[in-house]
A and B are shown apart, each in its own frame.
Chain A
Amino acid sequence: MALDLAKFLARFVEEARDHVNRLNEGLVRLDQQPDDAETINAIFRSAHTIKGSARMMKLTPIAEVAHKLEDALGALREQKIGFSKELADLLFKGVDCIAAMVEKVAAGADPAGETGPLCEELARAAAGVLPAGAPAPSQEAPPGPAPAAVPEAASAPAGSQTAPPPKAAPSAPAGPAAPPPLKTERPEKKARVESIRVSADRLDELIRLMGEIVSHQNRLKRRLADIREVERTARKGRDLAAGLQAGGGGPEGRGAELASAAGELQAGLKQLAASMRDDANLQELLTAELQEKALMLRMVPLATVFDTFPRMVRDEARALGKEVALAVEGGEIGLDKKMIEKIGDPLVHMLRNAVDHGMEAPAVRREAGKPERGTIRLAACYDAGSVLIELSDDGGGIRLDKLKEKALQKKMHTEGELAAMTEPELLDLIFQPGFSTSPIITDLSGRGVGMDVVRRNIVEELKGSIKIETRPGKGTSFFIRLPMTLAVMRVLLIQTGGTTFAVTTHYVTEVLRVRTKEIIDVLAKKAIRLREELIPVADLDTLLGLPSRGGRRQDLLLLIVRVGGEKLGLIVEALLDEEDMVIKSLPAHMKNVSLVSGVTISGRNEVINILHVPELMRVAGDMKETMPERGRAAAARILVVDDSVNTREIEKSILEAYGYVVELAGDGQEALERTREARYDLVVTDVEMPRLDGFSLTERLRREEGYRETPIIIVTSREKEEDKRRGIQVGANAYIVKGSFDQTNLLETVQNLVG
């Protein structure tokens, strides 16, 4: 008899997540418009629904918190209590607690947790008692007498349970006379279901197959060409036979017979080719439609990533004492699930940057005559066959003078180079590895990764592009353009060094034929002037280490490719075709072949390598680097401070392996002495050390004239948020937790800070 509730668990989790999102969204909205009755109603219902279904599932702790949340929201709805930032923090805490427990359930664990204090706090809030003046992330509620009873407001008649759940709304008959839609047989029930869940793996498999079919379609067209070829041969045969017949009929007059047979053969083949062409055309149409529909199956609305952002922006802004509202548009725009999974992190990073650096403090905004509350707009739309995501803030804009200062400080460019740069070139600096305008690198903004990683994700992983526009005092906009899917891509098939390669078209800006003499020499490098722009040019076969078939040619075929703001002209032998092809990733053992990003199978069943354009660009750039030293400054000197001999020796060897000059100190005191004797470009320090700890060392260094701006990295096993904050307060530029400490982490951070 007993019912197996397990089968409802997945559904419970899914719906609870949905309601958690709605709660978060609603609370963010309330935070900005505290008297929005409709929103209060909506989130009250969400809390109510979570409570109901959690009870059904005997998930008592979840039901408990949801219940208290519902009570507090009920009190708010009845205006028995007022809205405040403190209340919002508490409500958010409740939602977080539910979300965490739901995830536990999703992971197959028992959601039990210490919810008592939180429930008490919520109950007190519902009664109008808030932790007086308590800071936002307050600790557990102080032990105290719980209010005698849940106040009346708690059990407010839930008379507003109006909105039916969004999905699976049963199609109700209009009146009693309607045909009997409700029968007990199962099949009837199934008819009500409007959507079914399919595992992503099965979908992937389907799309992979679809891709094969699309490829096969191209193969079919090759076959058609083959038949035409045979038909031409048959025609030749027919003509020969006809000649034979005319020349006397051949032995025993068989010439006429032969001529007629050959004629029939040719005519038959011609007929076959014609009908096959019709078939192929029709099938091409159908395949194209199948491809489109299949890809649609894996489209997921951007809302799945966007939904968590308003809450994140709110928390981030509150932590920084700023007022920021996030306006989201276009959440309904669909994108391949594979891409949705990859776009979240870059967007989070950019949003944090926008709140952190883009947005000015309220006082500054007021002075500038802007509303104290800043606005970040995140909007998505379809545009010319791709998806365009715009992220704009109305903050201070990017200051070009600051960018220059930074580039100079990081020894990335000389003053002269910077003076010659155009605005887009300067803005492009923020995408350079190691360039981050953030004064502090925290784990929050992604282990100190910068916009370079953002761009790399968007360009290389998502095959998209990113562009910035900024206006001083008015704000900054980023435009991200993404293809709708990655499963099938348009490629150009080219030939160089006698081999066929593919280049995905999103890198290619144009293909042109130029006279050899138009290629000019600039600093011993080839380049071409194209519409007032000087674009470096390289022989693709040389880049790939293939035998050059160059010789002296009059004309050259030039493929202009672009990655970010950089362009490169690739000299190729021939342009073969442009096709939609299925991209296959490289087998694991070949993953380090950096010039090739994947393979595809041609209509003739050949494996064609897909060239990895960013890497080609880098290789072409390296060749440029062999030019007379452009004066990369002397290697940076680093002081490593740690009381463990082992740790400091390991850090030293890692850093030395990457060309840094490293000196050591055993504790803060020794480090302080050393910094007075010598000048270091960067300091890496442990926290817990005898005599003088890492925090104090940092604090002392910041007071010294010569070390006010010197990058300091704190490496520690202390993971607590407050330690991190302390590190930031004393003036460290980065805070690395040892647990997550591997050499790349430290190295990346060092490279970010001193280049």
Chain B
Amino acid sequence: MAERKAKVLVVDDDSFIREVLASILEGEGYDSLTAGDGKEALAAFGADPGGIGLIVSDLNMPEMSGMELIGKVREAGSEVPIIILTGNSEISDAIAAVRSGANDYLEKDENIQDTIVLSVEKVLEKHALKQRNTR
């Protein structure tokens, strides 16, 4: 594991949840930064598009929802992997999110501490592979 781990942007309107998530990811060696809604996330992303390796975002947020955020990021031509989290498991949400360009979809349940780590790893790995192949 010599390579530097990615910087993850955690987006959630609940400050408690975003801080816990950031803390979990930092515990795994990732860098993290946080944003309270889609708009803020987009601003952070816009300020440093190359620096952010992954976005973990809630769906329901004020100002700009997670779904909109995916749309805007993809519109800007970025391939940055996005993992969507949400409090309510509805399969239609999951489908919509993945259709809009999310790479994974997780429910905020009791296992989130473990699933988020696994999902981040998996998504980043896939992304790296894809980039190598398209190069």
Contact = CB atoms under 8 A, between A and B. Distances in A.
Query: Does chain A bind chain B?
Result: yes
Interface residues of A, number: 47
Contact of A5 (B20, B34, B35, B48): B20
Contact of B44 (A2, A167, A182): A182
B62 A182 contact: no
A698 interface: no
Interface stretch (A152-160, A368-376, A416-424, A723-731): A152-160
A151 to B, nearest CB: 14
B15 A182 contact: no
A164 B110 contact: no
Interface string A147-189: 0000000011111111111011110111111111111100000
A48 B87 contact: yes
Contact of B16 (A15, A58, A63, A155): A15
A542 interface: no
B89 interface: yes
Contacts of B123: none
B57 interface: no
Interface in B1-41: 7, 13-17, 19-21, 23-24, 26-29, 31-37, 39-40
A52 B27 contact: no
Nearest to A53: B16
Contacts, number: 119
Contacts of A58: 110, 113
B80 to A, nearest CB: 15
B35 A170 contact: yes
A431 interface: no
B27 A1 contact: yes
Given A51-B87, A162-B62, A182-B47, A168 B15 contact: yes
A56 B87 contact: no
B16 A11 contact: yes
B46 interface: yes
B109 A180 contact: no
Interface residues of B, number: 43
Contacts of A160: 60
B46 A165 contact: no
B15 A167 contact: yes
B88 A172 contact: no
Nearest to A161: B60
Contact of B40 (A49, A167, A170): A170
A3 interface: yes
A55 B108 contact: yes
Contact of A172 (B29, B31, B35, B113): B35
B47 A157 contact: no
A176 B47 contact: yes
Interface string B51-72: 0000000001110000000000
B43 interface: yes
B16 A60 contact: no
B87 A176 contact: no
A52 B108 contact: yes
A182 B33 contact: yes
Contact of B17 (A56, A170, A179): A56
Contacts of B47: 173, 176, 178-182
B98 interface: no
A165 B15 CA distance: 7
Contacts of A173: 40, 43-44, 47
Contact of B87 (A52, A167, A181): A52
Most buried by A among B36, B39, B62, B112: B36
Given A2-B27, A3-B23, A170-B35, A176 B46 contact: yes
A741 interface: no
A161 B90 contact: no
Interface of B: 7, 13-17, 19-21, 23-24, 26-29, 31-37, 39-40, 42-44, 46-48, 60-62, 87-90, 93, 108-110, 112-113
Given A1-B27, A172-B36, A178-B43, 15 more contacts: A5-B113, A8-B19, A48-B87, A52-B14, A52-B87, A55-B110, A60-B110, A157-B60, A164-B13, A164-B62, A170-B35, A172-B35, A180-B48, A181-B44, A182-B48
For the complex of A and B, 9 pairs with smallest distance between CB atoms? A176-B46, A3-B27, A172-B40, A161-B60, A180-B47, A182-B44, A184-B31, A182-B33, A173-B43
